[in-house]
Amino acid sequence: MGCIFCKIVNNEVPSNKVYEDDLVLAFDDVQPLAPVHTIVIPKKHYSGINDLDDREIWFAMLRAAQEVAKRKGVDQSGYRLVINSGEHGTQIVKHLHLHILGGRQLESSLG
């Protein structure tokens, strides 16, 4: 499979891991849009949010986001969680992923 995130899960491509458990993996984005920009992915491949049918994985992703925010020191100052879905939602990698953005004042506009 050519999915870059699946390759990261399988340790075929290096990443700066921030958090990992049996269901999910979190790693720093290689092209950060904020001082804190970490991605949480399920270890099982789902193309996008519309394909996710497993509550356990969804909650594991949210728990991972909370833990990443603590580890990165943005849990008190605030952060943004973003899931891009499909072409118009600017989803570039077709593997479900959650962005955690923080470390500075983020723009309030959804543009």
Q: What is the pLDDT of residues 19-55, one digit of tens each?
A: 999 999 999 999 999 999 999 999 999 999 999 999 9
Amino acid 109: pLDDT = 64
How many domains would you assign to the chain? 1
Q: Is residue 93 a part of any domain in this protein?
A: yes
C-alpha closest to that of 6 among 38, 45, 39: 45
Q: Is residue 50 a part of any domain in this protein?
A: yes
Q: Is residue 85 a part of any domain in this protein?
A: yes
Give the model confidence (pLDDT) of 58-79 as tens digits. 999 999 999 999 999 999 999 9
Q: Which of 37, 95, 97, 99 is catalytic?
A: 97
- CATH value at residue 46: 3.30.428.10
Q: Is residue 111 a part of any domain in this protein?
A: no
Give the structural domain span for 39.
4-102
As a whole number of angstroms, the distance between CA 34 and CA 42 comes to 22
Q: Is residue 83 a part of any domain in this protein?
A: yes
Structure tokens of 93? 């990698």
Amino acid 107: pLDDT = 87
Q: Is the pTM of this model over 0.85?
A: yes
Is residue 1 pLDDT above 70, yes or no? no
Q: Is residue 76 a part of any domain in this protein?
A: yes
Q: Can you tell me the mean pLDDT for 80-99?
A: 96
Q: Is residue 28 a part of any domain in this protein?
A: yes
Q: Is residue 108 a part of any domain in this protein?
A: no
Is residue 111 pLDDT above 70, yes or no? no
Residue 97 annotated to the active site: yes
